[in-house]
Copies of this chain bind each other. A is one copy, B any other.
Amino acid sequence: MDETTLLKETYGKTAFQLSGHGSRNASVLKKAFEGIPDEFESDKYGSGEVIEEFHSKIAGILGKEAAVFFPSGTMAQQIALRIHCDERGSKKVAYHPLSHLEIHEEDGLKKLHHIETVLAADKDRVVGLADIQALEEGVACVLLELPQREIGGQLPSFLELQEIAAHCQERGIKLHLDGARLFEVLPYYGKTAAEVCALFDSVYVSMYKGVGGIAGAVLAGTEDFCADSTVWKRRYGGDLISLYPYIVSADYYFDQRIGKMESYFESAKELARLYNAASGISTLPEEPVSNMFHVHFNEPKNRVALILADVHESSDVGLTSYLADRADGKGCSFEVSLGDLYSGVPQEKIIKAFQLLDEKMKTL
Which positions in A face B, CB cutoff 8 Å? Answer: 23-30, 33, 36-42, 44, 70-76, 78, 105-108, 111-113, 208, 214-215, 231-232, 234-246, 248
Q: Please determine whether A41 and B24 come into contact, CB atoms closer than 8 angstroms.
A: yes
- In addition to A28-B42, A30-B33, 9 A-B residue pairs with Cβ atoms within 8 Å of each other are A24-B41, A29-B33, A30-B36, A105-B234, A108-B235, A112-B236, A208-B242, A236-B236, A245-B245
A62 to B72, CA, bound (A): 28
Minimum CB–CB distance for A247 against chain B, Å: 11
Q: Please determine whether A42 and B71 come into contact, CB atoms closer than 8 angstroms.
A: no
Q: Please determine whether A71 and B238 come into contact, CB atoms closer than 8 angstroms.
A: yes
Residues of B within 8 A of A244 (CB): 26, 29
Residue in B27, B37, B78, B105 whose beta carbon sits within 8 Å of that of A38 in the complex: B27
Minimum CB–CB distance for A56 against chain B, Å: 20
Residue in B25, B37, B235, B237 whose beta carbon sits within 8 Å of that of A71 in the complex: B237
Max chain B Cβ within 10 angstroms of own Cβ: one of A29, A36, A243: A29
Q: Please determine whether B208 and A241 come into contact, CB atoms closer than 8 angstroms.
A: yes
Find the B residue at minimum CB distance from A209. B241
Q: Please determine whether B39 and A24 come into contact, CB atoms closer than 8 angstroms.
A: no
Minimum CB–CB distance for A271 against chain B, Å: 24
Residue in B38, B112, B215, B237 whose beta carbon sits within 8 Å of that of A72 in the complex: B237
Find the B residue at minimum CB distance from A79. B237
Copy number in the complex reads 2
Minimum CB–CB distance for A48 against chain B, Å: 10
A248 to B26, CA, bound (A): 10
Residue in B26, B107, B112, B113 whose beta carbon sits within 8 Å of that of A36 in the complex: B26
Minimum CB–CB distance for A207 against chain B, Å: 10
Minimum CB–CB distance for A32 against chain B, Å: 10
Residues of B within 8 A of A242 (CB): 24, 208, 214-215
Max chain B Cβ within 10 angstroms of own Cβ: one of A113, A243, A244: A244
Find the B residue at minimum CB distance from A246. B245
A54 to B71, CA, bound (A): 20
Residues of B within 8 A of A236 (CB): 74-75, 108, 112, 236-238
A70 to B71, CA, bound (A): 11
A25 to B40, CA, bound (A): 5
Q: Please determine whether A38 and B26 come into contact, CB atoms closer than 8 angstroms.
A: yes
Residues of B within 8 A of A70 (CB): 237
Contact A237/B108 with A245-B246, A246-B245 known, Cβ cut-off 8 Å: yes
Q: Please determine whether B241 and A215 come into contact, CB atoms closer than 8 angstroms.
A: yes
A30 to B34, CA, bound (A): 9
Contact A30/B26 with A235-B105, A235-B112, A236-B237 known, Cβ cut-off 8 Å: no
Q: Please determine whether A37 and B26 come into contact, CB atoms closer than 8 angstroms.
A: yes
Residues of B within 8 A of A214 (CB): 42, 241-242, 245
Minimum CB–CB distance for A72 against chain B, Å: 4
Q: Please determine whether B72 and A240 come into contact, CB atoms closer than 8 angstroms.
A: yes
A187 to B114, CA, bound (A): 45
Residue in B30, B41, B234, B237 whose beta carbon sits within 8 Å of that of A23 in the complex: B41
Offer 25 A-B interface pairs, CB within 8 angstroms, sorted by A: A24-B41, A24-B241, A25-B40, A26-B33, A26-B40, A26-B244, A26-B248, A29-B33, A29-B244, A42-B214, A71-B71, A71-B240, A72-B239, A74-B237, A75-B238, A106-B231, A106-B232, A214-B242, A214-B245, A215-B240, A215-B241, A236-B237, A236-B238, A237-B238, A245-B245
A116 to B338, CA, bound (A): 49
